[in-house]
């Protein structure tokens, strides 16, 4: 029996530095268990880690991938744990998720309810909690308030739309392609417009005269100017990503005359500053939202581990939804 895994021993473009390795599965030691990966997914931060540009980098060589779920396949008889074979858990991020199997200790593993489909479970640990915390940590939003965001078709963006709809909040969603309007409106988006200067001037007309209390930026560059122009006086713009790689630009007059606030958010930092119990409680809230309210991540495609390069190409192309890698 062997393990497939996607590794890299230097930083660079994923298509150039990633390697598929096949190694024998070793026997379990006391204190260990083995997880079989069901699904993992591809996040922008995965490509940043591989490329060496992310804010936190693993020691090389490393197994790629941060997020996925698997099934406990075997437990050493001398391993003390409440987990059982057949339980679904999050793949341990520190050991990499793009691999068919992983052997680890049970401490710190996040158990996932079995009644959540594995494809959805694999997407629940980075983008959905980011969306949830963005809506709770910065502004006291009340039903009827407006939120504006760019890259609304991203995974965080689709979760922001669904969470806002659930809470009676309204969303203004900036996208790069008009054809994204219909699927986003099906998720609950109120206003969907192409991210350009002409459209941003129409926001008050489209919202019945309303401006947003909270702006969410994951793009950077000139798109931030358009977000800020959609903010009400005293509004807050939170940056949590920089897809275009350009410095944030903002109109000085809005900072002065409209008292606009700028700040940042990094999910990794939140995780490091909170206890395991607090992290588990956050995930439990998300599990309940999926089971009770039907919230979900659109899935754009699924690839095998041997097709990881193709999966990365798909994840780097215009799309709506997550690209998954199956074990």
Report the C-alpha dihedral over residues 275, 277, 280, 285, rounded to 10 degrees.
-110
Contacting residues for 205 by C-beta, under 8 A, at least 6 apart:
none
What interhelical angle do 155-167 and 127-134 show, nearest 10?
50
Q: Find residue 147's DSSP bridge partners.
A: 171, 214
Q: Is the dihedral of CA 90, 94, 98, 99 positive or negative?
A: negative
List residues with catalytic annotation: 54
DSSP letter string over 50-69? HHT-SSS-PPSSEE--S-EE
Distance between CA 27 and CA 53 in Å, rounded? 36
> How many other CB atoms are there within 10 angstroms of residue 277's CB atom?
8
Report the C-alpha dihedral over residues 208, 213, 219, 224, rounded to 10 degrees.
80
> How many other CB atoms are there within 10 angstroms of residue 241's CB atom?
21
Q: Which residues of 207-222 are buried (b: 16+ CB within 10 A; e: fewer)?
A: beebbbbbbbbbbbbe
Q: Is the dihedral of CA 280, 282, 284, 287 positive or negative?
A: negative
């Amino acid at each position: 029996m062997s393990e497939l895994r996607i590794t890299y021993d230097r930083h660079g473009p994923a298509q150039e530095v990633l390697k598929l390795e096949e190694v024998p599965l070793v026997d379990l030691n006391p204190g260990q268990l083995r997880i079989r990966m069901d699904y993992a997914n591809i996040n922008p931060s995965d490509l940043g880690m591989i490329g060496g540009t992310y804010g936190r980098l693993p020691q090389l060589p490393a197994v790629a991938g941060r997020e996925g779920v698997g099934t406990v396949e075997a437990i050493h008889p001398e391993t003390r744990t409440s987990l059982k074979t057949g339980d679904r858990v999050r793949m341990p991020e520190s050991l990499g998720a793009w691999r068919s199997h992983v052997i680890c200790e049970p401490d710190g593993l996040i158990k996932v309810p079995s009644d959540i489909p594995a494809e959805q479970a694999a997407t629940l640990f980075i983008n959905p909690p980011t969306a949830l915390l963005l809506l709770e940590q910065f502004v006291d939003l009340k039903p009827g308030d407006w939120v504006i965001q760019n890259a609304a078709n991203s995974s965080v963006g689709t979760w922001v739309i669904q969470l806002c709809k659930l809470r009676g909040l309204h969303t203004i969603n900036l996208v790069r392609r008009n054809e994204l309007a219909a699927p986003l409106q099906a998720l609950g988006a109120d206003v969907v417009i192409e991210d350009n200067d002409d459209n941003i001037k129409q926001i008050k007309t489209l919202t019945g005269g309303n401006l947003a209390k909270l702006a969410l930026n994951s793009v950077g560059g000139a798109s931030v100017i358009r977000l800020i122009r959609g903010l009400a006086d005293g509004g807050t713009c939170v940056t949590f990503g920089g897809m275009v790689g350009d410095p944030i630009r903002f109109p000085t007059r809005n900072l002065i005359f409209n008292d606009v606030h700028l700040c940042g958010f990094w999910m990794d930092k939140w995780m490091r500053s909170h206890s395991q119990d607090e992290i588990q409680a956050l995930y439990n809230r998300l599990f309940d939202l999926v089971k009770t309210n039907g919230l979900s991540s659109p899935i754009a495609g699924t690839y095998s581990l041997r097709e990881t390069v193709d999966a990365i190409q798909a994840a780097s192309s215009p799309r709506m939804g997550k690209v998954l890698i199956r074990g």
